[in-house]
């Protein structure tokens, strides 16, 4: 099995106008792991992902994927990546089957494999019948399922997830968590970005906490726990990012409802 870092980010910096959104991100990610990339909204998670995927090019720093430096004109490395965007845009006029065929062709998945994988994954997520309908008729959770299925179709080595559970029903969340754990055991590298901590705490091998474009903590859940004296990931997170007003804000809401 490949044992070198699959992803290397070296001093990645990005600004939109005057705002520094990433202030020097350094990361080395080994294969066969689920990495939790967590931080509050606006921390720079999606920007990091877009840079990794070549969707943003005007950053500073260096990226290596499977030991190769990435430049803006490279596209081949993307065939090894599956990406579930946060509430991504889908071609809503297509049916589910048409969409999977379209994505499979982009990733050059051979047609026999594409058919088998699409049918099996559709069945596993309870989408076989719905895939005859146009995506415009789907609920939020159904759209999320098709994004998940299409990200897996090319059996990617690296799976990048940006808030992948949005709108999913409880059973699908459980199925998806199990899929991720099993894929990591098979050697795949999973980069799981979220501001929701409960899932990250349960399934990740390593947690990276980012806020204001900087990495504040990096380690296993147990390592972070020891450093912080706090019990849950949520408490560690609040401790590091300095957010302590949750109880006060909840009290204000309750008081306002009483008035």
List contacts with ligand ADP (CB under 6 A): 16, 21, 39, 41-47
Rounded CA separation 207/35 (Å): 6
DSSP string, 25-64: EEEEE-SS-EEEEE--TTSSHHHHHHHHTTS----EEEEE
Helices 140-152 & 111-124, crossing angle to 10 degrees? Answer: 140
Give yes or no for a contact between 59 and 22, defined as CB atoms under 8 angstroms apart.
yes
In the complex, the smallest distance separating the C-beta of residue 51 from ligand ADP, rounded to whole angstroms, is 9
Specify the residue, 32 or 53, whose C-beta has the smaller distance to ligand ADP.
53
Rounded CA separation 139/224 (Å): 37
In the complex, the smallest distance separating the C-beta of residue 45 from ligand ADP, rounded to whole angstroms, is 3
Specify the residue, 25 or 81, whose C-beta has the smaller distance to ligand ADP.
25
In the complex, the smallest distance separating the C-beta of residue 134 from ligand ADP, rounded to whole angstroms, is 29
Specify the residue, 21 or 149, whose C-beta has the smaller distance to ligand ADP.
21
In the complex, the smallest distance separating the C-beta of residue 251 from ligand ADP, rounded to whole angstroms, is 27
The angle subtended at Cα 93 by Cα 90 and Cα 98, nearest 5°, is 80
Specify the residue, 15 or 95, whose C-beta has the smaller distance to ligand ADP.
15
């Amino acid at each position: 099995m490949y044992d070198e870092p699959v992803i290397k980010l070296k001093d990645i910096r990005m600004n939109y106008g005057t705002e520094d959104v990433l202030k020097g991100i350094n990361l080395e990610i080994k294969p066969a792991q689920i990495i939790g990339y967590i931080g509050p909204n606006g921390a720079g998670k999606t920007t990091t992902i877009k840079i990794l995927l070549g969707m943003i090019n005007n950053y500073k720093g260096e990226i290596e994927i499977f030991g190769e430096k990435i430049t803006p004109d490279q596209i081949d490395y993307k065939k090894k990546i599956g990406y579930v965007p946060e509430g991504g845009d889908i071609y809503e006029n297509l049916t589910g089957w048409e969409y999977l065929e379209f994505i499979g062709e982009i990733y050059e998945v051979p047609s026999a494999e594409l058919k088998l994988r699409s049918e099996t994954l559709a069945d596993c997520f309870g989408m076989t019948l719905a895939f005859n309908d146009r995506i415009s008729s789907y609920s939020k959770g159904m759209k999320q399922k098709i994004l998940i299925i299409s990200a897996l179709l090319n059996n990617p080595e690296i799976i990048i997830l940006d808030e992948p559970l949005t709108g999913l029903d409880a059973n699908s969340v459980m199925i998806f968590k199990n899929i991720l754990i099993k894929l990591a055991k098979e050697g795949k590298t999973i980069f799981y970005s979220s501001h929701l901590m409960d899932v990250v705490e349960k399934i990740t091998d390593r947690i990276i906490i980012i806020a204001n474009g900087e990495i504040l903590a990096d380690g296993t859940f147990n390592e972070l726990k020891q450093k912080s004296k706090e019990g849950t990931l949520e408490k560690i997170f609040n401790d590091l990012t300095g957010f302590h007003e949750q109880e006060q804000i909840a009290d204000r809401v309750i008081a306002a409802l009483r008035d």
